Structure 1
Amino acid sequence: MAPVYALNLFDVADRDEYLAYSRRSAREVAAHGGRVVALGKFRESVTGEIEPRQVLIVVEWESKEAFDSYRNDPALTDLHPHREDGSSAYIWHLFDKLEDLRPLLKD
């Protein structure tokens, strides 16, 4: 099982709802094999056509299965609605971890 990165881009829609999510999510992410590797606040758009979001979070997961276990854990059904209600324009993309770009640059 290979690690994956989850790219989270979003705007805060309801501060209290997102705080309710964030207070518990770090512990639950870690319990399911994830760790936050980057947090960011939008600064500026340099190039590209994606609509800017206020917040960036990158989480490294031990595997896609670990990510899925976090998303689908029945014990967390009360947690995820706080993320959904506390954010808007959410983008959640998964990327395979690479040691370098050679696999993408092969002929």
Structure 2
Amino acid sequence: MSYYSVLDVTPTNTDWVKDYVAVSGKIASKHGGKYLARTATHEQIEGDDQPAALRIILEWPSKEAAENFMKDPEYIPHLEARTKGSISHHYLIEKKDDLA
């Protein structure tokens, strides 16, 4: 079953961004992940204002693949830098329709 990582990220400093972007795609790909969107071009069209500088969507072949990416020793220092240098929220969403 496919899963999606959906993130909103607002850097509080940009020291980590260049290194993060340089390696995160390669590490995600190693785990079967694929960036579908990684952009500052977005708009909120519903609900209370939830500002974020970046919106990111990744597709994973499984929940296990997403979790393995998050705990990959090569990724961990970049994850720590991102979480320390930003306000971030990460949602892991199963590709299914519970309301169907």
TM-score (norm 1): 0.80
Contact 2:42–2:55 (Cα < 8 Å) also in 1: no
Shift of 1:19: 1.8
* More helix, by proportion: 1
Shift of 1:8: 0.7
Greater C-alpha radius of gyration? 1
Aligned to 1:31: 30
Contact 1:10–1:54 (Cα < 8 Å) also in 2: yes
Give me the identity figure in percent.
26
Unaligned residue ranges in structure 1 (runs of 5+): none
Aligned to 1:93: 91
TM-score (norm 2): 0.85
Unaligned residue ranges in structure 2 (runs of 5+): none
Tell me the C-alpha RMSD between the 2 structures. Answer: 1.8
Contact 1:9–1:92 (Cα < 8 Å) also in 2: yes
CA deviation string 1:10-46 (max 9, x = no partner): 1122212122211111100101110001122154433
Contact 1:36–1:57 (Cα < 8 Å) also in 2: yes
Aligned length: 100
